[in-house]
């Protein structure tokens, strides 16, 4: 399985290398049925590229004939073929070069946001201390921990909301700001950088990783910022004298006593020195300022740095667990259309009738309707002769959609793509009773069966064919081909009854 990359810069170290084996080795691998092959591991980068290509194709389909053929030859699973196609297209369109530039942008954005976190955590405090005036200790505490504490509270609320709702809104954080800033740095932004950014967000949303990835980045930046704040305060308190007291204009002394009691409880439990409450009413002194300074240092460590370290560890653990189970959601209509295209391109197996291997049963029910989904019937005319005059009118009246396949690959791909985009349909395939079933018909019925809730076959007799009309030949062929999941309709009345039944 895959493993997560380094903290924060998850684009920097792809979970899996782009090519785990040479192209020639993969090309020599025998084709294996996707259903018989375990789903290969996927990386954050690979899934992001797949979503970026999907977003690019919203404006129009890309010319991918070569990439489709290479992906079909190199990979055997549905996910592997989709990701291989995305990698090949990304290389041709320059997305991989923009990915490298985005990595550089992430490092620059991380540095800028680290400065911002440091200013928010300690900049106001150091500015107040540098004023030369007597500083209220409670104000210094709030100046140091107010904004970071509020940001941590927002993240905790977000984490709780995400635990109960998959679609919980994501508030702004340093992690999100880092990703957005990296895609907008002048000199590093390319024509598809924002598409990569949108693909990354789609990937995080699909994998439910946004909370942990953005959280890990934010907590890492805050951890470094508070580390710098502690070093800064140690230097300031070591080499400068500050007047720290509890002076106030309108607040009562009991307020500060209670404030000191609450904020000093945790430091005192861990052995840190805490100012005596008598200092609240005492005049400013060097000893009192020293005690307050140690209390501020302990507060920065325990209320600023420690919570961020704990939250960072939690995010890393969850990130690692989720990243070990990464898989592309091939139920998405866009990816289902790609699966159907790959299935239509798969070569028909060469079968020795004397030593034929047992055929697997036809896949049925893979695209079953969701609870409450409306039943839809699809009427498919498969290579019907022109003399037939089209499907019977009474069958046409019972169908919600009608498709005609004359034999071209484009027609098959269009039909399979339509079935994949709207799963759960029931398909009735009409063929000529005078025609002979072959491997092409078998492959077509298997593909339709994989994209529909149920499938039936009706051989239509042609008056001019006379004795050549042999519908029973199709029935025997269905049984011998292992297509037991396809219902055989011997007569037009059987087909009409099947359609009425599946229309509910």
480: domain CATH number is 3.40.50
Indicate whether 395 belongs to any domain: yes
What pLDDT shows up at residue 483? 80
Indicate whether 394 belongs to any domain: yes
Structural domain total, the chain: 1
Tokens of 451: 């994209």
Q: Which strand (E) or helix (H) includes residue 428?
A: strand 426-432
Indicate whether 253 belongs to any domain: no
Indicate whether 413 belongs to any domain: yes
Indicate whether 423 belongs to any domain: yes
Kindly report the pTM of this predicted structure. Answer: 0.62
Indicate whether 459 belongs to any domain: yes
Query: Which residue range(s) make up the domain with 470?
Result: 365-502
Cβ-Cβ contacts under 8 Å for 214 (sequence gap 6 or more): 170, 173, 175, 176, 179, 204
Indicate whether 236 belongs to any domain: no
What are the distances in angstroms from CA 228 to CA 220, 224, 275, 298? 13, 6, 24, 14
CB 209 within 8 A of CB 176: no
What pLDDT shows up at residue 166? 60
Q: What gap in Å lies between CA 140 and CA 260, rounded to an integer? A: 13
What pLDDT shows up at residue 484? 75
Q: What gap in Å lies between CA 4 and CA 2, rounded to an integer? A: 7
Indicate whether 45 belongs to any domain: no
User: What string of pLDDT tens digits covers the 504 residues of the chain?
Assistant: 333 333 333 443 333 333 333 333 333 333 333 333 445 557 888 999 999 999 999 888 888 888 888 888 888 888 999 999 999 999 999 888 888 888 888 889 888 888 888 887 776 666 667 655 677 888 888 888 888 899 899 888 888 887 666 655 566 677 778 888 887 888 777 788 888 888 888 888 888 888 888 889 889 989 998 898 898 888 888 888 877 888 777 888 888 888 888 998 998 888 887 888 777 777 767 888 888 889 989 999 999 999 999 999 999 999 888 888 888 888 888 999 999 888 888 665 444 444 444 444 444 444 555 555 667 889 999 988 877 777 888 888 888 888 888 877 778 888 887 887 777 789 999 998 888 888 888 888 888 888 888 899 999 887 766 667 788 888 888 888 878 788 999 899 999 999 888 876
Nearest residue to 188 (alpha-carbon basis) of 104, 114, 93: 104
DSSP state of 119: I
What pLDDT shows up at residue 130? 62
R_g (Cα) of the chain, nearest Å = 33
């Amino acid at each position: 399985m895959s493993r997560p990359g380094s903290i924060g810069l998850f684009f920097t170290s792809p979970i899996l290398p782009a090519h785990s084996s040479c192209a020639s080795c993969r090309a020599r691998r025998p084709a294996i049925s996707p259903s018989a092959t375990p789903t290969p591991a996927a990386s954050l980068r690979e899934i992001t590229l797949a979503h970026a290509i999907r977003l690019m194709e919203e404006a129009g389909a890309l010319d991918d004939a070569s990439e489709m053929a290479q992906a079909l030859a190199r990979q055997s699973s549905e996910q592997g073929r989709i990701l291989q196609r995305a990698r090949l297209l990304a290389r041709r369109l320059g997305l991989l070069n923009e990915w490298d530039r985005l990595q550089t942008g992430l490092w620059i954005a991380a540095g800028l946001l680290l400065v911002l976190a440091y200013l928010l955590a300690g900049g106001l405090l150091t500015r107040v201390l540098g004023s030369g005036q007597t500083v209220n200790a409670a104000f210094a505490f709030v100046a140091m921990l107010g904004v970071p504490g509020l940001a941590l509270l927002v993240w905790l609320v977000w984490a709780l909301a995400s635990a109960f709702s998959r679609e919980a809104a994501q508030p702004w954080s340093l992690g999100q700001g880092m990703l957005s800033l990296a895609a907008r740095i002048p000199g590093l932004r390319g024509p598809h950088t924002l598409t990569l950014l949108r693909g990354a967000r789609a990937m995080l949303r699909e994998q439910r990783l946004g909370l942990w990835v953005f959280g890990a980045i934010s907590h890492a930046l805050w951890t470094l910022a508070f580390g710098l704040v502690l070093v800064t305060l140690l230097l300031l308190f070591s080499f400068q004298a500050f007047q720290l007291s509890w002076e106030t204009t309108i607040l009562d002394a009991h307020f500060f006593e209670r404030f000191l009691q609450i904020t000093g409880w945790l430091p005192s439990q861990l052995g840190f020195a805490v100012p005596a409450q008598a200092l609240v009413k005492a005049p400013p002194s060097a000893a009192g300022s020293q005690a307050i300074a140690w209390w501020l240092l302990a507060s920065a460590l325990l209320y600023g740095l420690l919570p961020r370290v704990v939250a960072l560890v939690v995010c890393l653990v969850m990130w690692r667990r989720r990243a070990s189970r990464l898989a592309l959601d091939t139920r998405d209509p866009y990816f289902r259309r790609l699966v159907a295209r790959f299935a239509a391109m798969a070569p028909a197996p060469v079968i020795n009738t004397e030593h034929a291997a047992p055929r697997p049963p036809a896949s049925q029910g893979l695209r079953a309707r969701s609870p409450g989904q409306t039943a839809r019937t699809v009427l498919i005319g498969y290579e019907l002769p022109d003399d037939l005059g089209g499907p019977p009118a009474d069958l046409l009246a019972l169908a919600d959609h009608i498709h005609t396949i004359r034999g071209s690959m484009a027609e098959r791909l269009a039909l399979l793509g339509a079935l994949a985009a709207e799963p759960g349909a029931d398909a009735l395939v009409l063929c000529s009773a005078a025609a002979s079933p072959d491997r092409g018909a078998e492959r077509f019925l298997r593909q339709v069966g994989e994209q529909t809730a149920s499938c039936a076959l009706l051989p239509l007799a042609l008056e001019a064919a006379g004795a050549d009309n042999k519908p029973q030949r199709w029935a025997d062929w269905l049984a011998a081909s292992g297509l037991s999941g396809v219902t055989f309709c011997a007569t037009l009345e059987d087909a009409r009854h099947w359609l009425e039944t599946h229309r509910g």
